[in-house]
């Protein structure tokens, strides 16, 4: 009588089956498992989702028209009626802050996406085409020696303030860093045996770039993109704050703080609320970046 269904010769001693010394590791699945394994990423993503929710559903979250001017109720302190108070023109700061989430998120994500794509292309070309490499890299060096905010400020001085111009200005300032990162990854990948093998096998250069090089640049690029997203949100608020960004009629966190600047010593809440939202959002994006870095590249995790 045994499980294997063959005859055991009489008189044979059979070893008792061993108890399970090491119980099988059951990786936790689903949301709780994700939160346990990547607490930083989960926390950052949670705050970011809340901000995304606020931005998308701003009109439904008890807000009023964020541009409605009512001089009769200027600079009211936060109260039941005006949760975050009102500004110098009597506009409801709660509504302005909620609508302002849209500007920050749009600018942050657009700059991250655009500068990643353009920087990726430049970096790939530079890393693979010897002839143009030094020309491209010297140009990037030149652009990188202009402090990014000043570069964006200088570009904004050329045009009217608008969301798309702000996005373009910050993107231009961020491209060199992405291009450098991609190029350095490409250069180290080119030395890999599997790339040599592909070349030896007669694979065409475009196929090598897109099949063998590109996929391996994506992990560091995504991590970099999340930090760029955070940086772009800060840059947008700085540009708007100094009057070189989003036009003042559009509520953005930088604009609200700029309007509160004259009165900050007496009406601190005007700058306080947009400041809290901006910091929280940037923190969330940075945490997502840290989390992604730990997840995508465990070697880097112990470093920082």
Partner 1 sequence: MLLYVLKRLLTTIPVMAIVALFVFSLLYLAPGDPAAVIAGDQATTAEIEKIRQSLGLDRPFILRFFEWGWHILQGDLGQSLFVNMPVRSMIAERIEPTLSLLVVTLVLAIVIAVPMGVIAAWKAGTWVDRVIMAFGVFGFSVPVFVTAYLLAYVFALELDWLPVQGYTPLSSGIGPWFVNLVLPAIALGCVYIALIARTTRATMLEVLQQDYIRTARAKGLALPGILFIHALKNAAVPIVTVIGLGIALLIGGAVVTESVFAIPGLGRLTVDAILRRDYPVIQGVVLLFSFVFVLVNLLVDLIYTLVDPRIRY
Q: Which residues bind partner 1 (CB under 8 A)?
A: 138-139, 141-143, 145-151, 153-159, 230, 234, 237-238, 241-244, 257, 261, 264-265, 268, 271-272, 275, 278-279, 282-283, 286-287, 290, 302-304
Smaller CB separation from partner 1, 156 or 225: 156
Smaller CB separation from partner 1, 182 or 287: 287
Euclidean distance between CA atoms 284 and 293, whole angstroms: 14
Q: Is 62 left (phi over 0), alpha (psi -120 to 50) or beta?
A: left
Widest distance between CA atoms in the chain? 103
Lookup result for tokens 């231009």: 172
Smaller CB separation from partner 1, 263 or 296: 263
Nearest in space to 185 (alpha carbons), one of 131, 118, 122, 142? 122
Q: How far is the CB of 32 from partner 1 (least distance, A)?
A: 23
Q: How far is the CB of 217 from partner 1 (least distance, A)?
A: 22
Q: How far is the CB of 262 from partner 1 (least distance, A)?
A: 11
DSSP per-residue codes, 201-267: TT--HHHIIIIIIHHHHHHHHHHHHHHHHHHHHHHHHHHHHTTSSS-TTS--HHHHHHHHGGGTTT-
Smaller CB separation from partner 1, 17 or 265: 265
DSSP designation for 12: -
Q: Which two tokens stand for residue 82?
A: 């005006």
Nearest in space to 244 (alpha carbons), one of 110, 167, 152? 152
Q: How far is the CB of 156 from partner 1 (least distance, A)?
A: 7
Smaller CB separation from partner 1, 153 or 208: 153
Q: How far is the CB of 261 from partner 1 (least distance, A)?
A: 7
Q: How far is the CB of 193 from partner 1 (least distance, A)?
A: 27
Smaller CB separation from partner 1, 156 or 213: 156
Smaller CB separation from partner 1, 40 or 203: 40
Q: In sequence order, what are the beta bridge partners of 242?
A: none
DSSP per-residue codes, 63-113: ---TT---GGGTTPPS-SSSTT-B-TT--BHHHHHHHHHHHHHHHHHHHHH
Smaller CB separation from partner 1, 41 or 208: 41
CA angle 231, 155, 278 (to 5 degrees): 25
Chain centroid offset of residue 168 CA = 17
Q: How far is the CB of 25 from partner 1 (least distance, A)?
A: 24
Q: How far is the CB of 189 from partner 1 (least distance, A)?
A: 23
């Amino acid at each position: 009588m045994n499980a294997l269904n063959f005859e055991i010769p009489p008189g044979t001693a059979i070893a008792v089956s061993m108890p399970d010394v090491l119980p099988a590791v059951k990786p936790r699945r689903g949301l709780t498992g994700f939160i346990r394994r990547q607490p930083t990423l989960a926390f950052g993503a949670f705050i970011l989702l809340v901000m995304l929710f606020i931005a998308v559903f701003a009109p439904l979250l008890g807000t009023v028209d964020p541009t409605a001017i009512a001089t009769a109720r200027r600079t009211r302190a936060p109260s039941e009626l005006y949760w975050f108070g009102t500004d110098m023109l009597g506009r409801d700061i709660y509504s302005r802050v909620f609508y302002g989430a849209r500007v920050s998120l749009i600018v942050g994500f657009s700059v991250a996406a655009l500068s990643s794509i353009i920087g990726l292309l430049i970096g790939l070309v530079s890393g693979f085409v010897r002839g143009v490499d030094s020309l491209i890299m010297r140009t990037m060096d030149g652009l990188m020696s202009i402090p990014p905010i000043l570069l964006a400020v200088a570009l904004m001085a050329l045009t009217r303030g608008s969301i798309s111009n702000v996005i373009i200005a910050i993107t231009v300032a961020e491209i060199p860093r992405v291009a450098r990162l991609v190029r350095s990854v490409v250069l180290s990948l080119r030395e890999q045996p599997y790339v040599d093998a592909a070349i030896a096998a007669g694979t065409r250069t475009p196929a090598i770039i897109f099949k063998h090089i590109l996929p391996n640049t994506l992990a560091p690029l995504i991590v970099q993109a999340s930090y760029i997203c955070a940086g772009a949100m800060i840059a947008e608020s700085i540009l708007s704050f100094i009057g070189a960004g989003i036009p003042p009629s559009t509520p953005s966190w930088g604009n609200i703080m700029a309007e509160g600047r004259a009165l900050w010593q007496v009406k601190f809440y005007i700058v306080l609320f947009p400041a809290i939202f901006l910091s929280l959002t940037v923190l969330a994006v940075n945490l997502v970046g840290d989390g992604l870095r730990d997840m995508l590249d465990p070697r880097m995790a112990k470093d920082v």
